[in-house]
Amino acid sequence: MRNRFFAVLVVGLLSIVIAENACAQSWSLPIRAGWSNASITGSNQMGSESVNGFVGSLGAELRFNKDFGIEFDIAYAQKGAKGTITNEVANSPSNPPQQNIFTFEGETSLDYVEFWAVLVGHLEVAKKAELKGYAGVALANLVSAEASGTANGTPVSFDLKDTLNSVDFTGIIGAGFAYDVGSVVLTIDFITDLGLTSINESVVADDFKTRAYYTMLGVVIPLSDELW
Interval 61-91: pLDDT, tens: 999 998 999 999 999 999 998 877 665 555 5
Q: Please report the pLDDT score of residue 158 as a whole number.
A: 83
Task: Residue count of the chain, please give it.
Answer: 228
User: In the chain, what are the domain boundaries?
Assistant: 2-222
What are the contacts of 155-161 at 24+ separation with CB within 8 A? 156/104, 156/106, 160/108
**Which residues, 6+ apart, have CB-to-CB distance to 4 below 8 Å?**
none
**Which residues, 6+ apart, have CB-to-CB distance to 213 below 8 Å?**
36, 37, 38, 190, 191, 192, 193
Looking at the structure, give the CATH architecture of the domain made up of residues 2-222. Answer: Beta Barrel (2.40)
Query: Could you give the angle at the alpha carbon of 195 between the alpha carbons of 159 and 28, nearest 5°?
Result: 105
**Which residues, 6+ apart, have CB-to-CB distance to 64 below 8 Å?**
20, 23, 24, 25, 70
Output the pTM of the full model. 0.80
Q: Please report the pLDDT score of residue 3 as a whole number.
A: 52
Q: Are 152 and 102 in contact (CB under 8 A)?
A: yes
Q: Please report the pLDDT score of residue 22 as a whole number.
A: 42
Q: Which residues of the chain have pLDDT under 70?
A: 1-24, 43-48, 85-102, 202-206, 225-228
